[in-house]
Amino acid sequence: MKLVLVASLFVVFSLVLLNPLAFTARAQTSGQPASTIVLKSYSGQDTTGVGDFDHGYIAFYDYAIPPYKMGTLPSGAVAYEMPSTYYDVLLNPLEYIQNPSGQEVLNPFYYQSVRFAINYIVDRSYFVNDVLYGYGIPSLTLYGGEYEMLTTSNVTAKFSNITYNPSYANETIYKTLTAHGYKYINGQWYYPNGQPVVIYVFVRTDTTVRSTYASFLIGQLKNLGFQVQPISGDLHKQIIDVYSMVPNETAWNVLIEAWGGTYGFYDWGLPASLYGAAFGNLPASDAYGTAWGLGVNTTNIQEPELTQELNIIDNLSLRLAFSEFTSEQQYYELINTINYYGIVSAIRIGLGMSLIPIFVNSNMVTGLVPNYIEGLVTPFSFLNAMTPTGTLTIGVRHLAMGSMNPVAGFTDAYSVATAASVFLPIIYYIPGNGFPVPVDFTYKLVALSPVANITVPTSALMYNATSMKVQYVPPNTTAKVAVIVNFAPLLQNGRFVDGQPITLADLIEQYLIAANASLSSNSPIYDSTAAAVYGPSLQQIVGFEILNSTSLEIWSTAWWFNPEYAALSTVGDFIILGYAEPGGGMMPWPLYAAMAYVVAHGEAAWSSGAATSEHVDWLNLVNPTDVGNVLKALQLYNSTGYIPEGLLEVQDLSGVQLVNTTFAHESYADAINYINTYGNAVIGEGPYMLVAYQPGQYAKLVKNPYFNVPVPSILASAPMLYSVHATLPPLGMVPAGGSISATVYGTPDGTNVTTPQSGVFVIAQFVTPEGDVVAQENLTSGADGSVSIPVPASLSPGSYYLVLWAYTPVNILLDPVKVPITVTPMVTTTTTSTTPVTTTTTSTTPVTTTTTSTTPVTTTTSTTTTTSTTPVTTTTSKPVTISTTLIVGIVVVVIVIIAAVALLARRK
């Protein structure tokens, strides 16, 4: 996965997984567990939230504010740095847009060369140093801090000439626009018809970082000769006016985006979903998807070259989605090529990952566990928290800026955080590296093969998308993965917050609702967004069988080179609902049935896009109207003891009874009672329950009295932040064959204690000014944190960049240090001799970044760990050759979520 790195990386990782004590967990302090959590909304008024934190009214304000705006911090304040928000500049690539008056006007960003030139004015250094005040990682791609920054480093090195260079941007834009009839007069751009060119920049005035940076970017655009008109709005307006509109029918050219939940492990889904059109997250179309997934093909008003590039991206993304690769090497070649074309297509221009800290008053709460994917507001952080009184009050920017429903709600970071502790994730992520672990089940990987040669028995069941019924698996069906999953830890130790027991019926009904909504286009509950999000993953589930009251066997075609990942991905593909709610979670089957009734009868829609087109509510389980409709559906079904058809089909075919009429009545009655008592329908199985929700004011959560599920201790381990400090000679001059001294330091997140660290992996790359990685050293820090970096004797004299990366298997937040060095000729020792001295010349050859990774096969019935070592080439000097042959007649609109690992990014 990374360079020739250290073969012990995943050996160590395996040992850590098997021995949770290997983690350094934060010591608990005195106090009471947090039995009540109050989320106080400040409705975007950051100054008020910061003021309340400074005065000790809230334990922390859960929105990263630049430190200079934090005022006088209270006594006991500690900082938690996390890769919380990724920022990019989004450019509209269509030939024309509509201005605010409704007139069609040409769009300069139609031209790829103009879009790419914006790379030279965004000034990533300014963004990180001046806007984020140094708390950030500049990034050309969508990766910011995770391991893939290293695996794609050869690709990004090819673009090392991208720096802040307005003159180059101006020259490029001038050549392109004048060649297409635009006029540049007295420093101003004019359309071919003589009217001034106006660029419409959507500005999020409700966020400090984006509004600050927007002022800078607008100034840069003006300096290039464009008139600029800001379009102000918040996230809600952004969703409606940008993401829910065909890009040529609305007034925006430029948008500064922010995303939460983008950090990950094996994070192929991030560039696949945000660089490609197939995933419904791009303002452009290709053979695989339409702009924003709205069903309108825009290829006739975008450059043909762009369409070809997007086809390549989506072609490769689908190969990843459907496991059409047979080795780790192939996987990383595909990732690198997707990133290459994502950069050159220049629709999303990367800025960087914010590490602006969240400040916490340690006098009001201790024991919080920062998670690099989810931040501080997680069920496991709350379970570990200790407070003086048992009540934890947290300030939040918003309670929600979208809807809460498990199919196509939870699209914004705020609603995800509000409801996070109401659900127990099926799969969650190690805080410091994002690797998935099972939370409430055990499993045994029965078989794994890169080719589909695992026979699926005909006694297994599957959902038939055409008939919309459950049936037996056809003969000769084969799979790549077979896994037995035992949900006993959850089913025997947990209940839903309404008091109902959790059974296999709840898991299977979630699968059936997801399949119905995303695979069956004739279903009354079908939704194109659900199809894009869940469809491909569900298509890879080729069968399941009930083994007993707590266990299923699941067969899938989703192969992966990491056995543990393959098993967890299969489970996550089966229990898939939750959209961006991390690791999924469950609701009781009667609630799924009631929500489906509401959608099927046109009272609400699963997704924002469907709600807009159908002129109905976006189903929201805290909206009084929608809650009322759900309640009526529950009451109707209770009156007849209704059991969903799919569950009845499963019972009939398997011979296993999941639900009877008596149990159905009890389940409906409990859900009805919960809604009547608390006024919301967010019924989960997590450690907390939502007992009050006042939009724009507060949400109150209390401990779920039925929650006794044991959770892995590994999820309560705080990450360590590493940095590398190199000591260079004057002018950075080092001889070939010499060495450079460096020291690795570490700081436990949430503390101010920094000490030298031993056993940290250090990757040292020597990069030419042209961006070629010509040499690399893979090292480990010594007892005092010291590292001696050999300068390869083969390096020719000249200028290079030394790029340093530091991490351990369980602490990966890569913020590479890049320093200029000058390599001088090798120092040689000469002796007096009558024989002429022979000079040896060294040659430098390009370096291919490879990795040797060893990953664990973890089962629930054995402590034996099987490891495999495979060297992997992560990049080539040119992108791999891709076949762009498309399947005629099939337009695949997809976004793949391997729910165990590839989270959907959440808009902020």
Among 121, 237, 253, CA closest to 200? 253
Among 480, 484, 381, CA closest to 428? 381
In sequence order, which residues have a C-beta less than 8 Å from that of residue 322 and are 6 or more positions away? 536, 540, 557, 558
Among 688, 674, 469, CA closest to 591? 674
Per-residue CA distances from 800 to 692, 874, 876 (Å): 59, 22, 20
Q: Where are the alpha helices (DSSP H) in 520-562?
A: 528-539
**DSSP single-letter state for residue 808:** B
Cα 688 from Cα 790, distance rounded (Å) = 53
Q: What digits encode the pLDDT tens for the residues 41-89? A: 999 999 999 999 999 999 999 998 888 888 889 999 999 999 989 999 9
pLDDT value at residue 154? 86
Mean pLDDT of 372-393: 94
In sequence order, which residues have a C-beta less than 8 Å from that of residue 485 and are 6 or more positions away? 441, 442, 443, 551, 552, 553, 554, 571
pLDDT value at residue 27? 39
| Whether the predicted pLDDT of 884 surpasses 70 | no
Cα 858 from Cα 589, distance rounded (Å) = 31
Average pLDDT across the chain, whole number: 88
Amino acid, res. 107? N
pLDDT value at residue 829? 56
Provide the pLDDT confidence category of residue 844 given band limits of 50, 70 and 90: very low
Residue 37 near residue 701 (C-beta atoms within 8 A): yes
Beta bridge partners of 777: 764
Q: How buried is residue 585: exposed, middle or buried, by Cβ count under 10 Å (0-12/13-18/19+)?
A: buried
Instruction: Say which residue, 770 or 363, is predicted with more confidence.
Output: 363
Cα 109 from Cα 197, distance rounded (Å) = 12
CB atoms within 10 A of CB 507: 24
Provide the pLDDT confidence category of residue 758 given band limits of 50, 70 and 90: very high
| Whether the predicted pLDDT of 895 surpasses 90 | no
Residue ranges of E strands in 29-146: 32-33, 36-41, 60-61, 77-80, 85-91, 96-98, 104-106, 136-138
Cα 671 from Cα 677, distance rounded (Å) = 10
CB atoms within 10 A of CB 34: 29
Cα 256 from Cα 136, distance rounded (Å) = 16
| Residue in the block written with tokens 């003021």 | 51
Mean pLDDT of 694-708: 97
pLDDT value at residue 4? 25
In sequence order, which residues have a C-beta less than 8 Å from that of residue 638 and are 6 or more positions away? 664, 665, 668, 669, 672
Write down the pTM of the prediction: 0.81
Longest Cα–Cα distance of the chain, Å, equals 109
In sequence order, which residues have a C-beta less than 8 Å from that of residue 570 and are 6 or more positions away? 481, 483, 541, 554, 556, 558
CB atoms within 10 A of CB 124: 21
| Whether the predicted pLDDT of 22 surpasses 50 | no
| Whether the predicted pLDDT of 898 surpasses 80 | no
3-state helix, strand, coil split of the chain in percent (to 5) is: 30, 25, 45
Lowest mean pLDDT segment, chosen from 238-242, 344-348, 589-593? 238-242
Lowest mean pLDDT segment, chosen from 132-136, 529-533, 901-905? 901-905
Cα 103–Cα 106–Cα 110 angle in degrees, nearest 5: 140
Selection from 149-158, 451-460, 714-723 with the highest mean pLDDT:
451-460
